[in-house]
Amino acid sequence: MSTTMMGMATRVPFVCAATAPNQCHKYCELPPSLPLPVSSSSLRLRAHSLSSSSSLGFFSLAKKRNEEGVNRVTREFRVVAMAESAKSTVLVTGAGGRTGQIVYKKLKERPNQYVARGLVRTEESKQNIGAADDVFVGDIRDVGSIVPAIESIDALIILTSAVPLIKPGFDPTTGQRPEFYFEDGAYPEQVDWIGQKNQIDAAKDAGVKHIVLVGSMGGTDLNNPLNSLGNGNILVWKRKAEQYLADSGIPYTIIRAGGLQDKDGGLRELLVGKDDELLKTETRTISRADVAEVCIQALNYEEAKFKAFDLSSKPEGAGSPTKDFKALFSQISTRF
């Protein structure tokens, strides 16, 4: 980028003929004690001397003001440059998912703080979230396809997850529980382990400064019902990816969310815990919007780095809505 500076025009006073014996111009007065009469040649000499001095003074003043203008513009340019460099470029993977969309949207709503990017699996998903140029299409199971999205980012928020599907033919009127399956190539081992490992490796190679990974509560119990869905052991593979991130050396924040609800955020008191302790209470759920906000707030505080925690919320109206996220993260002491 180049900046073209225009010099300041300098106005020099015009020296006219004296209108009185002791005066040649409003910028050039002769001493009243000057002996009279004064010859025209002496007057011209004295006027020339004084007006030249005055002109030099004005040139000096113009130069000074010009330098001040240059310095001011330079300072302003530096401020703008610093503001631009202060923005964090953040990639949200799984940006086509229900929680990922909220995170991506929240980042876009804060252009003074973040440059948002999204990664989705299909062109259809890209269209669904606005088809902006900052949305990349890639397959996390193929590390090469996600490298362009990860290049030059500051932070990565991982919201990818395998999704169990209900087997065809399920009739909810029968009162029976549905059966689940995973599509070929989309089992938790391939998505939640290999896919997340690929993201972590690519981020490390790119020099990413912070990774926020959203997982799920329940990983301490192998018999958790979620592991039985489609025989995928989804929490086992999620936990394996979390451990890989914690061992990577990259500053991280691991958020193990409770049951996700499609409700407005910012209305509840958030709770943090460890080792699935919150699952033994009545506060085991949280809105997707609140999870999204915690993901973004984690980027702003050192207190959130190298931390892993469970996250849920009190019911709306019970307690005070969480506003102080630094205090929230300061409650956490667990690294995994």
Q: Please, what are the averages of pLDDT over each run of 10 residues along the chain (336 residues)?
A: 41 40 40 45 46 54 63 52 71 98 98 98 95 96 97 98 94 90 97 98 98 97 96 98 98 98 97 96 96 98 98 96 98 95
Question: In the prediction, which pLDDT does 60 show?
Answer: 63
Find the catalytic residue in 51, 125, 161, 216: 216
Question: In the prediction, which pLDDT does 157 show?
Answer: 98
Question: In the prediction, which pLDDT does 148 show?
Answer: 97
- DSSP-derived letter for residue 315 is P
Burial of 75 from C-beta contacts in 10 A (0-12 / 13-18 / 19+): exposed
Closest CA to 217 of 275, 298, 146: 275
216 annotated active-site:
yes
Question: In the prediction, which pLDDT does 5 show?
Answer: 40
72-81's contacts with Cβ under 8 Å and 24+ in sequence apart are 73/3, 73/5, 77/3
* All residues at 6 or more sequence positions from 2 whose CB lies less than 8 Å from its CB, including other chains: none
3-state secondary structure (DSSP) of residue 253: strand
Residue 17 forms beta bridges with which residues? none
Distance CA 332, CA 301 (A): 13
Question: In the prediction, which pLDDT does 196 show?
Answer: 98
Question: In the prediction, which pLDDT does 175 show?
Answer: 85
Distance CA 112, CA 13 (A): 48
Question: In the prediction, which pLDDT does 3 show?
Answer: 42
3-state secondary structure (DSSP) of residue 4: coil
Token digits of residue 181: 């399956």
Question: In the prediction, which pLDDT does 55 show?
Answer: 52
Threshold 0.85, pTM exceeds? no
